[in-house]
């Protein structure tokens, strides 16, 4: 694996990270201990790390669940951060978020 | 007469080869069959029927259906009438619709999840056989899961809209399929919203479970291990295989089980669950957990909920 790095700006949180060529965006965040993109299953299946690539380009490094990213969305730059690796400097916004937690918030924790 | 145990789970995977490697190397399952559509059938060493897991190639992750084995073929006709009388439509699938499997009663739970019942599946024996058997086979791989133990389904819960598919499913499986309630989580200002339930037909704390969430999905499928030492070893196996672990070894307050949660390569959550917990019996008083103690109920040691555990599912 080459030691090539790309600058990635996360618009939603204002963070800037370095993503190694071939490494997924989510793995790069994890490597740096950042939490700006929610991390779930890391397998492209749960949709929690959904992002929108605003500028730059990258490559898919595995299948992305069509339940969370449709064909049209993918063509418009939507993808999952666990399955996307930078091939140039990027700017992305975070679309995915943790859903309302199950069982909580119904009785104010009582 | 009646439902005996969980028979199999059919799940969607986006990369079949990666999924097979995961269930082989991490859980210790073996492939017993592949069909013309590319579906792969797998079984654990201590199971005697031909398969307990079906991997189906798909463009997404999640559950296709969960199936429970009943004692007699004639039970399917009895259950068909009970389910239809309850108001739920059924379909009888012929023998061979799934290979090596007899006819199946197919229907959808109130939550929308597909469930099937069947009486016949080809018996190929456990890996230690039935004649003067050893307690375990020599070729155990990975965590060496004994059997598929249960499934936990996410069901829509929205009290403001008056939607509680957890309660609907619970009432359905109790009234139509004779499941018994072992534990429940009650929330809301009046503690009267049934937000999660654990139900059994065997004498273990749960063969199926329902938990409230924003939609309909699969929270996890669980595989059985004997004890805490096996759980620790399973965690080592996961580390060796670079598996994404959701929750590292701990104990549940609910069911008393010791556990690890992790993900398969498509993001379907698995559990390795150890211990028989307690003797589940129809006359055992139902255990209730309240919202304020939910952390302890799910993670007994830490006493806190983990965002990925409660909010990530396929």
Annotation says B65 is catalytic: no
CA-CA-CA-CA torsion sign (B121, B122, B126, B130)? positive
Annotation says B108 is catalytic: no
Quick one: tokens of B122? 């080809």
> In this structure, is residue A26 part of a structural domain?
yes
> In this structure, is residue A85 part of a structural domain?
yes
Please give the angle made by the CA atoms of B9, B271 and B237, to the nearest 5 degrees.
Answer: 115
A100 and B214 within 8 Å at the Cβ level: the answer is yes
Quick one: tokens of B248? 């590292």
For B200-233, the pLDDT digits (tens) are: 999 999 999 999 998 899 999 999 999 999 999 9
The answer to whether B167 and B110 have CB atoms below 8 angstroms apart is: no
Instruction: Write phi, then psi, for B237 (nearest 5 degrees).
Output: -60, -40
Q: At what angle do helices B165-177 and B73-86 cross, to 10 degrees?
A: 130
> In this structure, is residue A105 part of a structural domain?
no
B187 and A103 within 8 Å at the Cβ level: the answer is yes
Q: How many domains does chain A have?
A: 1
Interface of A with B in 23-42 (CB under 8 A): 38-42
> In this structure, is residue A55 part of a structural domain?
yes
Asked if B162 is an interface residue toward chain A (Cβ–Cβ < 8 A), one would say no
What are the pLDDT tens digits along chain B (314 aa)? 999 999 999 999 999 999 999 999 999 999 999 999 999 999 999 999 999 999 999 999 999 999 999 999 999 999 999 999 999 999 999 999 999 999 999 999 999 999 999 999 999 999 999 999 999 999 999 999 999 999 999 999 999 999 999 999 999 999 999 999 999 999 998 999 999 999 999 999 999 999 999 889 999 999 999 999 999 999 999 999 999 999 999 999 999 999 999 999 999 999 999 999 999 999 999 999 999 999 999 999 999 988 889 889 99
Please provide the distance, in angstroms rounded to a whole number, between the alpha carbons at the two ends of chain A.
52
Q: How many Å lie between the alpha carbon of B19 and the closest alpha carbon of chain A?
A: 11
Burial class of residue B74 in the structure, from the number of CB atoms within 10 Å of its CB (0-12 exposed, 13-18 middle, 19+ buried): exposed
A101: pLDDT strictly greater than 60: no
The answer to whether B166 and B155 have CB atoms below 8 angstroms apart is: yes
For B39-70, the pLDDT digits (tens) are: 999 999 999 999 999 999 999 999 999 999 99
d(CA B217, CA A65): 14
Annotation says B271 is catalytic: yes
Superfamily of domain B3-118: 2,3-Dihydroxybiphenyl 1,2-Dioxygenase, domain 1 (3.10.180.10)
Quick one: tokens of B301? 């040691």
d(CA B132, CA B247): 38
CATH code where residue A86 lies = 3.10.20.30
Q: How many Å lie between the alpha carbon of B32 and the closest alpha carbon of chain A?
A: 25
B291 and A109 within 8 Å at the Cβ level: the answer is yes
The answer to whether B263 and A41 have CB atoms below 8 angstroms apart is: yes
* Delimiting residues of CATH 3.10.180.10 domain(s) in chain B: 3-118, 148-311
Give the 3-state secondary structure percentages of chain B, helix then strand then coil, rounded to 5: 20, 40, 40
> In this structure, is residue A102 part of a structural domain?
no
Annotation says B278 is catalytic: no
d(CA B242, CA B25): 11
Which residue of the set B8, B65, B150, B219 is catalytic?
Answer: B150
| pTM for this predicted structure | 0.95
Domain limits for position A36: 5-94
- Closest partner residue to A98 among B246, B291, B311, by Cβ? B311
Chain B residue at shortest CA distance from A110 = B292
B83 three-state secondary structure? helix
Q: Which residue has the tokens 């290979």?
A: B99
Long-range pairs for B86-90 at CB < 8 Å and ≥24 separation?
B86/B172, B86/B175, B86/B176, B88/B172, B88/B176
Q: What fold is seen in the domain B148-311?
A: 2,3-Dihydroxybiphenyl 1,2-Dioxygenase; domain 1 (3.10.180)
- Closest partner residue to A40 among B15, B213, B312, by Cβ? B312
A102 to chain B: which residues are within 8 Å by CB?
154, 157, 195-196, 211-214, 310-311
């Amino acid at each position: 694996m080459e030691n090539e790095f790309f600058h990635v700006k996360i618009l939603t949180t204002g963070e800037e990270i370095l993503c190694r060529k071939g490494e997924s965006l989510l793995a790069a965040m994890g490597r740096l201990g950042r939490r700006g993109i929610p991390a779930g299953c890391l397998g492209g299946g749960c949709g929690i790390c959904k992002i929108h690539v605003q500028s730059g380009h990258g490559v898919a490094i595995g299948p992305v669940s069509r339940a969370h990213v449709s064909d049209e969305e993918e063509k418009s730059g939507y993808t999952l951060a666990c399955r996307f690796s930078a091939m140039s400097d990027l700017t992305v916004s975070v679309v995915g978020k943790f859903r309302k937690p199950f069982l909580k918030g119904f009785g104010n924790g009582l | 007469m009646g439902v005996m145990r969980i028979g199999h789970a059919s799940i969607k995977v986006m990369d079949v080869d990666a999924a097979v490697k995961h269930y082989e190397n991490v859980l210790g399952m073996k492939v017993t069959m592949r069909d013309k559509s590319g579906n792969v059938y797998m079984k654990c060493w201590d199971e005697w029927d031909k398969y307990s897991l079906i991997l189906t190639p798909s463009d997404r992750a999640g559950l296709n259906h969960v199936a429970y084995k009943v004692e007699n073929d004639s039970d399917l006709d009895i259950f068909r009438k009970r389910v239809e009388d309850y108001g739920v439509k059924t379909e009888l699938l012929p023998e061979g619709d799934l290979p090596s499997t007899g006819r199946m009663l197919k229907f959808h739970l109130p939550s929308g999840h597909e469930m099937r019942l069947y009486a016949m599946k080809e018996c190929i024996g456990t890996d230690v056989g039935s004649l003067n058997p050893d307690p375990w086979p020599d070729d155990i791989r990975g965590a060496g899961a004994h059997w598929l133990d249960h499934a936990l389904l996410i069901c829509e819960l929205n009290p403001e809209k008056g939607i509680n598919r957890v309660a609907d499913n619970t009432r359905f499986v109790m009234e139509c399929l004779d499941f018994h309630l072992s534990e429940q989580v009650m929330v809301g200002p009046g503690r009267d919203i049934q937000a999660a339930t654990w139900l059994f037909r065997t004498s273990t704390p749960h063969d199926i479970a329902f938990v409230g969430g924003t939609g309909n999905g699969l929270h996890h499928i669980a595989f059985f291990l004997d004890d805490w030492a096996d759980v620790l070893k399973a965690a080592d196996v996961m580390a060796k295989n670079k598996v994404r672990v959701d929750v590292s070894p701990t104990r549940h307050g609910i069911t008393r089980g010791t556990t690890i949660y992790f993900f398969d390569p498509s993001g379907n959550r698995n559990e390795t669950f150890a211990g028989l917990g307690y003797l589940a019996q129809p006359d055992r008083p139902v255990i209730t957990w309240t919202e304020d103690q939910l952390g302890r109920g799910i993670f007994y040691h830490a006493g806190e909920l983990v965002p990925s555990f409660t909010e990530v599912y396929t």
